[in-house]
Amino acid sequence: MEINFNIPTKIIMKRNCVLENANLIASYGKKAMIVTGKHSAAANGSLKDVVDALESKNVKYIVFNKVMANPTIELAYEGARLAKNEDVDFIIAIGGGSPMDAAKAISLLAVKDIKEDDLFTAPITSPVLPMVFIPTTAGTGSEVTQYSILTNDKLETKSTIASPFLFPTVALLDGKYMQSLGKFTTINTCLDALCHAIEGYLSVRANSLTKTLSIEAIKLIAKEFKNLESFNLLDDDRDKLLYASTLAGIVIAHCGTVAVHILGYSLTYYKEIDHGRANGLLLVSFLRKVNETMPDLINEILEALSLKSLSDFEQIINTLLGNKDVLTDEEIDKYAKKALAVPKLKNTVITLKEEDLKQILTESMKG
């Protein structure tokens, strides 16, 4: 057996953990920059809790609340300039994957001069600003990963800055901020987490420890399918979804994502399909492809889902996603070719040729 496992992020999960950990937050410096989206942090109480925690310890702060969905490179540089000008000691991210990923790039660029052209390739050899992360969606797991994913217009896709120095310092998990999260975002983010757990399971980099985490995350999410459908989520359900997405984040921190995410990036970049939905749309067809040669692995996943067949799974996913988005033949061709050129496609447990990728896209999204 071979295991290589490391999560440097301190994880604290508890209702009201932001206020209860004011001392810990204040230990990272005298001035913080809060990185967040335009509206939700102010509306769901997370920003107030952070501000109250900082003020209770006389920590100064500035708020950078400009992060859009699928954050851009320009936004990261803008945030970093502000962090430098304001001489902040640490970064606090509040929000979904978009503010969290932007915050990682800001923490990096605030201490290191990297030219835009080198952003995704420059070696990162020293610590970035300390990062306190408060996820307010249960999906990306970015609070426990070393990835910052930004929109890359040069390559017409989403690209990743990856470094062990980008693991957040602390993740504070409180499901109460998700009470206001609408059905659409709750389902999409949950499907994102499910894809992380499943793709990690079907990565050549999976080991028995990551597989255990994948199975646990899949089980937790599967138990919530009915509640997601009726959109009847109590506090305990929100907590479980948040816990599952963090587990799935730890999985991708070790295994990365594979074919579904690689194909999904084109759906987001070209068709503006939400990240989690893009992955959800492609998942079952991908599993069918794996099932052709590795049915045992698929059976293990079905068992964790408490389902008998991929058709049963497809029905559930279809219900959650509603009307499907449609691609043309030209789009299918283009996205398959793009995915084929991505080196990490080879981390998938099966070899995928261009025809296989086209088949996954066609089955999932042909009108």
Give residues in contact with ligand NAP (CB under 6 A). Answer: 37-41, 44, 69-70, 95-99, 101, 136-137, 139-142, 145, 147, 149, 158, 177-178, 180-181, 185, 189, 192, 275-276
Cβ(64)–Cβ(36) under 8 Å? yes
Residue placing its CB nearer to ligand NAP in the complex, 196 or 358: 196
Q: Which does 285 bind (CB under 5 to 8 A by kind): ligand NAP, Zn ion, none?
A: none
How many chain residues are in contact with Zn ion, going by CB under 5 A?
1
77 residue type, one letter: Y
Residue placing its CB nearer to ligand NAP in the complex, 276 or 280: 276
CB of 293 to ligand NAP, least distance (A): 27
Residue placing its CB nearer to ligand NAP in the complex, 143 or 356: 143
Cβ(106)–Cβ(119) under 8 Å? no
CB atoms within 10 A of CB 126: 9
160: helix, strand or coil: strand
2 backbone dihedrals φ, ψ, rounded to 5°? -130, 120
What is the rounded CA–CA span in Å between residue 271 and residue 287? Answer: 23
Cβ(73)–Cβ(120) under 8 Å? no
Residue placing its CB nearer to ligand NAP in the complex, 21 or 268: 268
Residue placing its CB nearer to ligand NAP in the complex, 96 or 358: 96
Q: Look-up: residue for tokens 């080991």?
A: 207
Q: Strand pairing of 31-37 and 10-13?
A: unpaired
Q: Which does 147 bind (CB under 5 to 8 A by kind): Zn ion, ligand NAP, none?
A: ligand NAP
Q: Which does 9 bind (CB under 5 to 8 A by kind): ligand NAP, Zn ion, none?
A: none
Which of 145-149's residues contact partners 24+ apart within 8 Å by CB, and which partners? Answer: 145/249, 145/252, 145/253, 146/253, 147/101, 147/104, 147/252, 147/253, 148/76, 148/101, 148/102, 148/104, 148/105, 148/108, 149/97, 149/101
Query: What angle in degrees, to the nearest 10, is found between the helix axes of 295-305 and 208-222?
Result: 40
Q: Which does 266 bind (CB under 5 to 8 A by kind): Zn ion, ligand NAP, none?
A: none
Backbone CA torsion sign across 112, 37, 101, 24: positive
CB of 345 to ligand NAP, least distance (A): 17
Strand-pairing partners, residue 90, are 32
Structure tokens at 293: 């040669």
What is the rounded CA–CA span in Å between residue 248 and residue 340? Answer: 25
Residues 151-210 that bind Zn ion (CB under 5 A): 192
Q: Look-up: residue for tokens 């939905």?
A: 277
44 residue type, one letter: N
Residue placing its CB nearer to Zn ion in the complex, 192 or 239: 192
Residue placing its CB nearer to ligand NAP in the complex, 238 or 288: 238
Strand-pairing partners, residue 36, are 94
Query: What angle in degrees, to the nearest 10, is found between the helix axes of 208-222 and 235-255?
Result: 150
CB atoms within 10 A of CB 42: 16
What is the rounded CA–CA span in Å between residue 96 and residue 139? Answer: 8
Residue placing its CB nearer to Zn ion in the complex, 79 or 97: 97
Q: Which residue number is nearest to Zn ion in terms of Cβ?
A: 192
Q: Which does 246 bind (CB under 5 to 8 A by kind): Zn ion, ligand NAP, none?
A: none
CB of 57 to ligand NAP, least distance (A): 24
Residue placing its CB nearer to ligand NAP in the complex, 130 or 256: 256
Q: Which residue number is nearest to ligand NAP in terms of Cβ?
A: 97
By the rule CB under 5 A, 224 interacts with Zn ion: no
CB of 125 to ligand NAP, least distance (A): 21
CB of 252 to ligand NAP, least distance (A): 6
CB of 62 to ligand NAP, least distance (A): 17
CB of 196 to Zn ion, least distance (A): 6
CB of 169 to ligand NAP, least distance (A): 15
CB of 140 to Zn ion, least distance (A): 6
Binding site for Zn ion (CB under 5 A): 192
